[in-house]
Chain A
Amino acid sequence: MDRENRRYLLGVFMAEEDILGATRTAREMGYKIVDVYAPYAVHGLEHAMGLGRTRLPLITLMLGLLGAGLKVWFEYWSTAIDWPVNVGGKPWDSLPAFFPVTFEVMVLFAGVGTVVAFVIGQRLLPGRKTKLPVEGVTDDRFALVLEETDAGFDKVAAEEMFARFNVVEVIERVKQEPLQ
């Protein structure tokens, strides 16, 4: 899609409760919230933004089961089929003895897999260059970014709403780089 005529309104806040309030109100007023930037995970913001749940837990579960399955098979195959050898008179398939390693491998697959899925999903890659919407969002400032969807977008009302939540700075940007 072309982004030429895209315009964004960006409000910078200093306090957790302000960004929460501003976001909530912006959504009630029907603005399109592009994103919110915060130096830490402000709880409740996901509701304010109206974001859904992620599918990561499902991935974790799948990977875990996969790892466990593979391991049980391998242990059984290598111990009882590929090279059955009498070890301390134990039965060929000592399943109880296989449990610990199976569990560890399950956790390994699930854990590492989840993180990999996360960094890929969020395109967080080593050395990836990024540009902050505004200085300080990784320090102590919060930023709310709205998209001026059409000509009917009431910029004044939006700025007033920002002001109600002690906005410290309002910036309007055109031809903003893709944010996500």
Chain B
Amino acid sequence: MSNKPASKPDGWGQRLPELPDGGAGAPLQKDLLNGVSRRHFMQATGFAFIGTMMLGCTAVSEEEALPYLEQPEGVIAGRSDLYATTCGGCSAGCGMLARSRDGRPVKLEGNPDHPLSHGGLCAVGQASLLGLYDSHRLRAPVMDGKASDWASVDVALGDRLRQLRSASGRVAWLGAPITSPNKRARVEEFLATFDNGRLVEASANSQMPIAEAHGLTHGVATVPRYHFDRAQVIVSVDADFLGTWISPVEFTAAWSSRRRGDALENGFSEHVQFESRMSVTGTKADLRLRIAPGERAAVLNQLVRHLSQHAHRSLRQIQDRPLTSVDDAQIAAIAARLWEHRDQALVVCGADDLAAQTLCNAANELLGAYGKCLDLAQPAHHAGSSETELSLLLDEIAAGRIDALFVDGLNPVLDLPAGAALAQRLDAMQLVVSFSPYEDETSAHADFICPDHHYLESWSDNDNITGLMSYTQPIVAPMGATRQLEESLSMWTTGAVVPVRDQVLASSGGDVRRFDKLLHDGFEMRDVRQNAGNFRPDGVHAASDPDASGLQLVLYSKVAIPSSAHAFNPWLHELPDPVTKSVWDNYASLSPATAERLSLQDGDVVRVALGQDAAVEVPVLIQPGQHDSAVAVALGYGSVLSRRFEGVGPGWIERKPTVGSDGLVGASATAVLAFEGGRRKFAGRSVTVEATGARRELARTQDYHSLDVPPHLAPEGGERRPNVQETTVAALMDPHFGEHAIEHHDGGNMWPVDHPYEGHHWGMVIDLTLCTGCSACVTSCQVENNVPVVGKDEVRRNREMHWLRIDRYFVDRDPATAGGDRSNGTGNGDVDVSHQPMMCHHCDNAPCETVCPVLATVHSDEGLNQQVYNRCVGTRYCMNNCPYKVRRFNWFEYAHEDEHENLAMNPDVTIRSRGIMEKCSFCAQRIQEAKIVARQQRRPVADGDIRMACQQSCAAQAISFGDMNDPESAVARARDSRRHFQVLAEIGVQPSVGYTSLVRNRPTDHEGPQHG
């Protein structure tokens, strides 16, 4: 990034990343001694894994903070250690391993043992590393708008609190759902010191009604735990459970365990998706039915109606007639499938209205899914409060009946409706305290900003799922003079800071030895069960007749930017959306037909208006597969945190800025979010869409979106490109499958083979059935390989630098109009979607190598296509001659000026300079590391020792990598799969990357691509 750190850190980091040990070692100790008390510090290092840091720091005193001149025991400069902790990227709480290199975390990876994530880690989790090193983070508390220190803050705030207590002021805590028992205890203790303190936990997204609905239907207001791995038939109504809904990594892992095309005997689930916009989950559904945003409850009503007939249980709330345009016979068939597999059936709903949620519960109840595919006895703890509580609090604030407000983990002014009004009330309030690490829309109005640690600097326990306690431990000492929220509260409650490690230790049971084990593992299972409640038919709300007239708004969260809290993160802004492939912006998605009707093109700025005054102006994005009545706009954009990106990307005469005219990335869609009957209505409000006449070019990493070439250019028989091959479960059942269907190319040589691969021969196979396009691998690759961020304009010019991209194809399911780029608006609107991760194929007959004049790209004797940066003169001939177009050229000198962000760089990977070519290296540094370890242990490299960054992060475990010469290796077995094929093998380049075909669980005779 080209933006300078706001407050320049005390001279450290400059030497990075060239001198990791010196550059990081020294400041680490220095800051340890600044940041936290030595006592705290000694405790912090009281166990084996942090021993590293203790020795590192007790060895040298602050004055002589130098690189490791005398090597502390246990620390080997250049070797990385893994620490188990819990991801703080969202409330899902995936277990992860932080890779610490010379005392600083440089990579976050999933913890393979963790019962939720099973080793996966989403893009947001991967990118959360940058939050730690963000130079725009507050490095000290702020009092009345001026930087201050904790002592004075505690004094000043102490007085204000005393006044409040004596005057029995009305205190409210407005924060994100709390998933840490320790934190909850601290917060409750603190609020208890007031006569009327109250706690409202709210999330910026639409998941709060789930718990509320269960309160109504089962008497337990909680979010159940969903077991997609147990479901044979999954019906999702607008729940994007593979992308953004509740706990996507957990769900993806579970879902994928029942989608394995080479292990059909384990069952291959059927997945039906009802949705109005095209979600990641929708792209993977076997049957996808488009419904209007307002029809969700009505569709569930139809479903429950059929189910109740099967179950011979009638619910009076169910209306005995189809309320929707959706073909009732089709829903009946779906209900039948559900009923047939009722022990393994699951219905999920992402809707924001109680009717839909309660009907969904009814459906699961009728199927007897409770206790099987979803569990209230060991529920998830993302529940938070109810929408009603939230709206009540906001009303009281508006009415001036709240004297003090504590804001944590939420940015109400930006994330909640009527933010501007709220901001005014905050100024009027007696006391506003924010724990935000940034000066954002809300904390700007706070009297005190008491910045919390980044979670990688924090201690915490998280029971995101009852019966599973995950622990968070600091990987590095605080970067600045921040203080963890729990400590601040203990100070304000008891008058003394209780070190948060002690708090967590205590809440874990207080046994230090056991505590060390817990921290080592990162989690523990406990046999805790709650009352699962019983179904109360009266709790079910009836669906009202949907009004499907006109255009209806859908406010959703993007995979890359789940909430405004991530708006500071350039890695996430530049992550192509899995469905739209758009970056650095939010937009109004319209179906091709609707766009045509309103004669709108991609990039036309429209005014999406809710009534008269509430409106948001965003560019149009034409989205195939979306319902014609839906207008989908992403939340979480237009945050002041994105102001910093004004200067992002290379500067040159034809440069266009990444931020909009208002200096922000995207526009905040909360302008059109409003309460309706005491609850935020995210979807279904009817809106007007009119062109403003302005244009705002969208930056997309993919310009052409179909496997079908434009019809007028299609040669006979060449209408569809064969690079994605599809099949169906039914077809796979045929034992002769694949013998003739998928052509296998031997890629024969026309010259003598001088290069047999006797030792290792690295290869990769990617399962297109499992790949959901979630793009965690893309960010993982970016973090691992120091891939620069180039900004919106460069992406718009097709110059993104990602080494790994995911090609996403739409194919029209309507045979009448099949062919051509679906974004042109023809066809009945139903599309099949396929995701194809694409990176360097490390061809054994690599076309790029032959053409390089200076031998800057050559082949290793283990089959790696190596790029020699120092030798490259940048003719770009290799890039032209690459049939996969996976090579990336350094068009400019990309900035690495931010000393803090540079700390996130992987010391094992060179920073590439201007004018040279780069590309996927098969994580050569990881291969090397694994070999060294194996050599030290005097054993050969075993299968699974080496995990590519992309492979590691994949929640669905779609990627296998290994030695193709080892017949037992996972990759070798994948290559033997009947579904295995190689892209463009016919041109004889002999790629080392292969794919296994995309399996859909459908009758074979459906129209659409059939290569299987």
**With the chains together, A92 CA to B859 CA distance in Å?**
13
State the Cβ distance, A144 to closest chain B Cβ, in Å: 57
**With the chains together, A50 CA to B400 CA distance in Å?**
123
Indicate if the CB atoms of B859 and A86 lie closer than 8 Å: yes
User: Within the complex, which residue of B845, B852, B855, B860 is in contact with A89, where a contact is CB–CB below 8 Å?
Assistant: B845
Indicate if the CB atoms of B859 and A87 lie closer than 8 Å: yes
**With the chains together, A89 CA to B848 CA distance in Å?**
11
Main secondary structure of the interface of B (DSSP, over half): loop
Which residue on B lies nearest to A89, using beta carbons? Answer: B845
State the Cβ distance, B221 to closest chain A Cβ, in Å: 64
Indicate if the CB atoms of B855 and A86 lie closer than 8 Å: no
**With the chains together, A92 CA to B753 CA distance in Å?**
9
Contact of B521 with A by CB under 8 A: no
Residues of A within 8 A of B848 (CB): 88
Q: Return the CB mask of B838-875 against A: 1 if under 8 Å, else 0.
A: 00000111111110100100111100000000000000
Which residue on A lies nearest to B860, using beta carbons? Answer: A86
Indicate if the CB atoms of B754 and A91 lie closer than 8 Å: yes
Contact of A3 with B by CB under 8 A: no
Which residue on A lies nearest to B846, using beta carbons? Answer: A88
Count of chain A residues near B, Cβ 8 A = 9
**With the chains together, A86 CA to B752 CA distance in Å?**
13
Which residue on B lies nearest to A93, using beta carbons? Answer: B754
Indicate if the CB atoms of A91 and B855 lie closer than 8 Å: no
Which residue on A lies nearest to B849, using beta carbons? Answer: A88
8 Å CB interface, A80-136 against B: 85-92, 94
8 Å CB interface, B802-849 against A: 843-849
Contact of B652 with A by CB under 8 A: no
Q: Return the CB mask of B399-437 against A: 1 if under 8 Å, else 0.
A: 000000000000000000000000000000000000000
**With the chains together, A91 CA to B755 CA distance in Å?**
8
Residues of B within 8 A of A92 (CB): 754
Indicate if the CB atoms of B752 and A91 lie closer than 8 Å: yes
Contact of B990 with A by CB under 8 A: yes
State the Cβ distance, A90 to closest chain B Cβ, in Å: 6
Indicate if the CB atoms of B846 and A89 lie closer than 8 Å: yes
**With the chains together, A89 CA to B858 CA distance in Å?**
9
State the Cβ distance, B944 to closest chain A Cβ, in Å: 27
Most chain B CB within 10 A, of A86, A91, A92, is at A86
Indicate if the CB atoms of A91 and B751 lie closer than 8 Å: yes
Indicate if the CB atoms of B751 and A86 lie closer than 8 Å: no
Residues of B within 8 A of A94 (CB): 751
Residues of A within 8 A of B752 (CB): 91
Indicate if the CB atoms of B754 and A85 lie closer than 8 Å: no
Indicate if the CB atoms of A90 and B861 lie closer than 8 Å: no
**With the chains together, A87 CA to B855 CA distance in Å?**
8
Indicate if the CB atoms of A87 and B751 lie closer than 8 Å: no
Indicate if the CB atoms of B861 and A89 lie closer than 8 Å: no
Residues of B within 8 A of A86 (CB): 754-755, 849, 858-861
**With the chains together, A90 CA to B858 CA distance in Å?**
11
**With the chains together, A89 CA to B754 CA distance in Å?**
7
Indicate if the CB atoms of B855 and A90 lie closer than 8 Å: no
User: Within the complex, which residue of B753, B850, B861 is in contact with A87, where a contact is CB–CB below 8 Å?
Assistant: B850
Residues of A within 8 A of B755 (CB): 86, 89
Which residue on A lies nearest to B990, using beta carbons? Answer: A89
**With the chains together, A89 CA to B864 CA distance in Å?**
11
Which residue on A lies nearest to B850, using beta carbons? Answer: A88
Indicate if the CB atoms of A87 and B754 lie closer than 8 Å: no
* CB<8 Å pairs between A and B, sample of 5: A85-B858, A88-B859, A90-B751, A90-B754, A91-B751
Known pairs A88-B843, A90-B751, A94-B751 / 10 extra A-B pairs, C-beta < 8 Å:
A85-B859, A86-B754, A86-B849, A87-B858, A88-B845, A88-B849, A88-B850, A89-B845, A91-B752, A91-B754
Q: Across chains A and B, which 10 residue pairs bring their CB atoms closest together, nearest first?
A: A88-B850, A86-B859, A88-B849, A89-B845, A91-B754, A87-B849, A86-B755, A88-B846, A89-B844, A85-B858
